[in-house]
């Protein structure tokens, strides 16, 4: 069998570890052939964008961040940006993609990606392609898997940033606000905030109130603590307000968020506090994966290769508890996993007096 492997959406620590495990299993152990499609599905639309993948080619990849196949979050074949007389417009070019796969003799595709990629995989499956999914996102917001690889690395990076911000916040008696990624779900903000001892954590799931944030800062000041640390997910919104958008959605792309922490810092400054906002940005996505992510990525890549060998298509490898299982792609595609109102994370945060900006 000739297997195609593609990494879709934004990059993420652990992608190379998935590719490595999938190739070692599928090619080295099971005797199939594997080719990497470069730059997401863009690689199927342009010449010379396939790379032969062998166990020798994936050697040394475990600690390497990014993806050797390139990533692309603008190559959705069902909404592909095409420049025409009326500017750039989204077109469905999925038939061309399927035709190209046939020409290339690719029997089945392994799609490593987040919600957008798994949705594309599901739609291509509906058109007859043999697909297997591997869940990926630093945001951890993909349904049907308990964790995605890349998340643990992002949380550790954000936690280290918070540890560093503590010492400078304390020295200067300041409120320091750290903006982390998380458009629709606050998993990074919540985990990093708890691990890094934040005083306030603002999530996309819980609209915040300025008075509630002020109340927490004032209580700390009255208790003699002159600094505070606030973690803000990029998608967190004030009650009745909107997310802070850097760039509206262009054809084939989602809108770009950013600036939520800066906006809150400005409000705090106006209220007489000395506040600074720091955007952690893509530092969360770069660099070497943690041990947890390397192991999770390896297990998922291995499982996905086995699924293909056994003909279990239309499914996505997933972590359930401590087991690697596989689930129907429809359980993940098009759905976002948020922190639910009954999450023990929320209860723990409230009970240890971390403000979530509510009330």
Q: Which of 161, 177, 197 is nearest to 278 (CA)?
A: 177
**By the 8 A CB rule, do 198 and 233 touch?**
no
Using CB under 6 A as the binding rule, whether residue 257 contacts ligand F6P is answered as yes
**By the 8 A CB rule, do 308 and 111 touch?**
no
Catalytic annotation on 152?
A: no
Transcribe 220-268 into DSSP letters.
Answer: HHHTT---EEEEEETT--BTT----EEEPPPTTSPPEE--HHHHHHHHH
Q: Give 214 or 254: the residue with its C-beta nearer to ligand F6P.
A: 254
Residues 192-221 that bind ligand F6P (CB under 6 A): none
Instruction: Pick from 24, 285, 299, 303 the residue near ligand F6P by CB under 6 A.
Output: 285
Say how many C-beta atoms besides its own lie within 10 A of residue 207's C-beta: 15
Residue span binding ligand F6P (CB under 6 A) among the ranges 102-110, 136-144, 288-296, 316-324: 136-144
> Which residues, 6 or more positions from 208, have their beta carbon under 8 angstroms from its beta carbon?
202, 236, 237, 238, 239, 356, 357, 358
**By the 8 A CB rule, do 133 and 314 touch?**
no
Angle at 15 between CA 12 and CA 19, to 5 degrees: 170
Nearest distance from C-beta of residue 183 to ligand F6P, angstroms: 5
Transcribe 267-321 into DSSP letters.
Answer: HHHHTT--EEEEE-GGGGTSSPPPHHHHHHHHHHHHHHHHHHHTT--SEEEEEET
Measure the CA–CA gap between 199 and 226, rounded to whole angstroms. 12
Pairing outcome for strands 33-37 and 50-53: antiparallel
Using CB under 6 A as the binding rule, whether residue 181 contacts ligand F6P is answered as yes
Q: What share of the chain is helix, strand, coil (3-state, %, to 5)?
A: 35, 25, 40
Q: Give 228 or 290: the residue with its C-beta nearer to ligand F6P.
A: 290
Residues 304-333 that bind ligand F6P (CB under 6 A): none
Instruction: Pick from 138, 217, 244, 333 the residue near ligand F6P by CB under 6 A.
Output: 138
Q: Which residue sits closest to ligand F6P, CB atoms considered?
A: 181
The contact pattern for ligand F6P, residues 72-91, with x = CB under 6 A and - = no contact, is -x------------------
Nearest distance from C-beta of residue 287 to ligand F6P, angstroms: 14
Using CB under 6 A as the binding rule, whether residue 335 contacts ligand F6P is answered as no
Q: Which of 317, 223, 327, 251 is nearest to 90 (CA)?
A: 251
Instruction: Pick from 256, 320, 347, 350 the residue near ligand F6P by CB under 6 A.
Output: 256
Nearest distance from C-beta of residue 139 to ligand F6P, angstroms: 5
Give the binding-site size for ligand F6P (rule: CB under 6 A): 13
Structure tokens at 211: 């008075």
Using CB under 6 A as the binding rule, whether residue 71 contacts ligand F6P is answered as no
Distances (CA, A) of 235 to 23, 105, 118, 159, 253: 36, 42, 22, 19, 17
Q: Of 11, 115, 139, 293, which one is the catalytic site residue?
A: 139
Using CB under 6 A as the binding rule, whether residue 294 contacts ligand F6P is answered as no
Instruction: Pick from 42, 139, 199, 238 the residue near ligand F6P by CB under 6 A.
Output: 139
Q: Give 38 or 139: the residue with its C-beta nearer to ligand F6P.
A: 139
Instruction: Pick from 8, 10, 36, 357 the residue near ligand F6P by CB under 6 A.
Output: 10
Nearest distance from C-beta of residue 166 to ligand F6P, angstroms: 24
Q: Give 232 or 257: the residue with its C-beta nearer to ligand F6P.
A: 257
Using CB under 6 A as the binding rule, whether residue 40 contacts ligand F6P is answered as no
Nearest distance from C-beta of residue 317 to ligand F6P, angstroms: 19
* Chain contacts with ligand F6P (rule: CB under 6 A): 10, 73, 114, 137-139, 181-183, 234, 256-257, 285
Catalytic positions: 139
């Amino acid at each position: 069998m000739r297997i195609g492997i593609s990494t879709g959406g934004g990059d993420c620590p652990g992608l190379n570890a998935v590719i490595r495990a999938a190739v070692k299993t599928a090619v080295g152990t099971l005797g199939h052939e594997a080719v990497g499609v470069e730059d997401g599905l863009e690689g199927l639309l342009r010449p010379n964008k396939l790379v032969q993948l062998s166990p020798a080619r994936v050697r040394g990849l475990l600690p390497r961040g990014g993806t050797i196949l390139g990533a692309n979050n603008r190559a959705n074949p069902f909404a592909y940006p095409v420049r025409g007389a009326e500017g750039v417009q989204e077109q469905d070019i999925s038939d061309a993609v399927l035709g190209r796969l046939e020409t290339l003799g690719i029997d089945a595709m392994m799609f490593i990606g987040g919600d957008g990629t798994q949705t594309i995989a599901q739609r291509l499956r509906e058109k007859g392609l043999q697909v297997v999914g591997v869940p990926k996102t630093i945001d951890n917001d993909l349904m049907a898997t308990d964790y995605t690889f890349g998340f643990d690395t992002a949380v550790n990076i954000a936690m280290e940033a918070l540890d560093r911000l503590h010492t400078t916040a304390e020295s200067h008696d300041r409120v320091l606000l750290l903006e982390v990624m998380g458009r629709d779900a606050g998993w990074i903000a919540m985990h990093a905030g708890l691990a890094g001892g934040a005083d306030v954590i603002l999530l996309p799931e819980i609209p915040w109130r300025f008075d509630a944030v002020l109340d927490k800062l004032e209580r700390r000041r009255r208790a003699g603590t002159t600094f505070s640390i606030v973690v803000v997910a990029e998608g967190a919104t004030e009650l009745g307000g909107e997310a802070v958008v850097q760039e509206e959605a262009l054809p084939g792309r989602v809108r770009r968020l950013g600036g939520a922490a800066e906006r809150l810092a400005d409000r705090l400054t106006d209220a007489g506090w000395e506040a600074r906002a720091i955007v952690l940005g893509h530092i969360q996505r770069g660099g070497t994966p943690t041990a947890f992510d390397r192991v999770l990525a390896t297990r998922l890549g291995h499982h996905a290769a086995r699924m293909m060998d056994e003909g279990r298509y239309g499914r996505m490898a997933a972590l359930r508890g401590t087991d690697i299982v596989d689930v129907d792609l429809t359980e993940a595609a098009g759905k976002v996993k948020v922190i639910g109102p009954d999450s023990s994370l929320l209860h723990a945060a409230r009970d240890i007096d971390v403000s979530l900006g509510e009330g």
